[in-house]
A and B are shown apart, each in its own frame.
Chain A
Amino acid sequence: MRAVRPHLPIHFFILGAVFLYAGFLIVAPIVAIVQKTFSEGVAPIVATFQDPNVMHALQLTYFLSFGAVIVNTLLGMATAWVLVRQRFLGRRLLNTLVDIPFVFSPVIFGYVMIILFGREGWLTPTLFPIVFALPGILIGKAFVSVPFIIREVQPILASLEREPEEAALVMGASHWTVFRRIVFPNIWDGVLYGIVLTFARAVGEFGAVSVVSGGIEGRTETATMFVFRALNDRNDIGAYSMSLLLGISAVVILVVMNLLRRRIGK
């Protein structure tokens, strides 16, 4: 399909309807929160971020989201490879499983972790706690973002020409070298795009984390949990400030996504 300049009444009607809808749905809430956050000046916003517990929540969120990215990047790349390059019984089932975290309610996942690792859980470790501690939050963040890397890398891997790899192998290159020198440079943009999506999803996670973290201020409280607590404590400006910060980081992520998408040619 080719894009045309709108010139008929129907064109303007469609564009108007779309702008009105997107304006109300997406733009209006953003304008509202920006305006409301600054409604009492900058001082209360600064005060919010001077609270050490708030800073801790932010650091914890980014740190654990980074952890989730590492887990999912390494295992996600391996999984994408296996799903594209290997043929074995159960491969299609595995492929179907990948999408489950998109539809599996994170609250349910948090609840499963309580059953498995909570007090009197089925698999509660004795050495260190998982639930109501950092490992539980990390697992929750990793779970909700499992599909992204796999689903970004899979199509690129599937469309890759095999001849260069085979030539390198015949000439005596090791499999690791072939992967590092030939495969990896080709899938890197896709991996990066997947990383951005994984990170965004992990930062924003609330359902699983709220069940599993216990939300101990200054210890296991994440950024989204702080927003929730601030609202309950009627600390509205605090909640809005953190929401706005998370929103701004979402916009940064969006910009990066678009730069990458142009590079992948999607």
Chain B
Amino acid sequence: MTDMSLQTPAQRWAFSLPRLSYGKWGLRLSAIIYLAVFILVPISVVIIKSFDEGWEGFWQSLANPTVISAIWLTVWTSILMALVNVVMGTLTAYALVAYDFPLKGVFNALIDLPFAIPTLVTGVMLVVLYGPQSLLGDFFKNELGIRIIFAPPAIIIALLFIGYPFVIRTVQPVLEALEPNQQEAAETMGASGWRIFWRVIFPAIRPAMIAGGMLSFARALGEFGSIIIVSGNIPMRSQTATVYLYGQVEGGNMMAASAVSAVLLLVAFGITIAVEFVEARRHASR
């Protein structure tokens, strides 16, 4: 920008007309106001509200066995989901890229269904499938002694459904972009399939696996629609943080709601920044 001769004609032209910079500023301001109103304001409100009664009030709202168990349930079910999702999502992405099979297009399209379907509907479908009067629900309860609906397993299944596309859609493009030559070279040199996977494929997709897993984890922390249907909302047993939050808001207990919101936001925010860090490294290494 310092050397005028390096500027394109358009830039010089733009520079000479003030009318243009109004438009430029108008656009910039509308973008800033849009994101500030929708995103910065809500974050600030949550933080301000949760410190209404200082640190003490904040800690008091959190130091409550119901709150701790709700946050813990949210975190452990989300972590477990993310781990299963990373493995199965990567395997699915691999199958989609590596093999030709009938109806592959339909299967590929089906992967996006959890993006399109309301999560509340996901909850309803799972209750129908695993609920008390269903075939599968009966089987799990009577034959295996596992309660699915109104218990943590239902929460994990709901989160798995919702998180399924995240890992697949981040890993798939990386697999597609892998040079076939590398693999063929390794094959001609006599490397086994297993070795090729660990030495050639896995290092290439690892950052995408981590990014996809973390995205699905962050998404799971805030999930509400499906969980309120499948969890049964039993405090200390199947009540997650967002469901607890919902109860507090409905009951007008704003302090407790704010403190829990602040914790959830902090974790989600940390994850977003971590994902960006991983992505930045991924692009840098390319």
Taking Cβ atoms with an 8 Å cutoff, the residues of A that contact B are 1-6, 8, 10-11, 14-15, 17-18, 21-22, 25-30, 32-33, 36, 75, 78-79, 81-83, 86, 88, 90, 94, 96-112, 114-116, 122, 142-143, 146, 162, 165-166, 169-170, 175, 197, 200, 203-207, 210-211, 224, 227-228, 231, 239-240, 243, 246-247, 250-251, 253-255, 257-258
Contacts and interface: CB of A to CB of B under 8 A. Distances in A.
18 contacts: A2-B180, A4-B98, A22-B111, A26-B110, A78-B31, A96-B276, A97-B35, A108-B46, A111-B249, A111-B261, A122-B45, A166-B8, A169-B10, A204-B225, A205-B118, A231-B229, A240-B124, A258-B112
B61 interface: no
B175 A254 contact: no
A110 B110 CA distance: 31
Contacts of B261: 105, 108, 111
Interface stretch (B65-73, B142-150, B266-274): B266-274
B56 interface: no
Contacts of A25: 157, 160-161, 164
B242 interface: yes
A109 B197 CA distance: 43
Contacts of B38: 101, 142-143, 146
Contact of B161 (A14, A26, A36, A200): A26
- Top 6 A-B pairs, shortest CB-CB distance: A204-B118, A105-B222, A29-B125, A103-B268, A250-B116, A206-B225
Given A29-B129, A240-B128, A254 B109 contact: yes
Contact of B28 (A11, A82, A146): A82
B265 to A, nearest CB: 7
Contacts of B129: 28-29, 32-33
Given A1-B178, A15-B101, A108-B261, A250 B118 contact: yes
A11 B9 contact: no
A107 to B, nearest CB: 5
Contacts of B83: none
Contacts of B101: 6, 15
Contact of A116 (B45, B105, B120): B45
A101 B98 contact: no
B35 A29 contact: no
Contacts of A107: 222, 224, 242, 245-246, 249
Interface of B: 8-10, 13-14, 20, 23-24, 27-28, 30-32, 34-35, 38-43, 45-46, 49, 88, 91-92, 94-95, 97-101, 105, 107, 109-122, 124-126, 128-129, 134, 136, 157, 160-161, 164, 175-178, 180, 183, 193, 215, 218-219, 221-225, 228-229, 242, 245-246, 249-250, 254, 257-258, 261, 264-265, 268-269, 271-273, 276
A175 B23 contact: yes
Contacts of B273: 96
Contacts of B92: 18, 21-22
A80 to B, nearest CB: 9
A25 B161 CA distance: 6
**Most chain A beta-carbon neighbours within 10 Å: one of B13, B88, B224:** B224
A82 B118 contact: no
A99 B215 CA distance: 10
Contacts of A4: 98-100
A250 B136 CA distance: 25
Contacts of A110: 249
B269 A100 contact: yes
Given A102-B219, A204-B120, A246-B117, A29 B31 contact: no
Contact of B249 (A36, A78, A114, A170): A114
A227 B124 contact: yes
A30 B121 CA distance: 10
A36 B136 CA distance: 13
Contacts of A257: 109, 112, 116
Given A94-B32, A240-B124, A103 B272 contact: yes
A197 B224 contact: no
A7 to B, nearest CB: 10
A166 B111 CA distance: 41
B8 A96 contact: no
A207 B257 CA distance: 14
B91 A14 contact: yes
Contact of A18 (B20, B39, B91): B91
Contacts of B40: 97
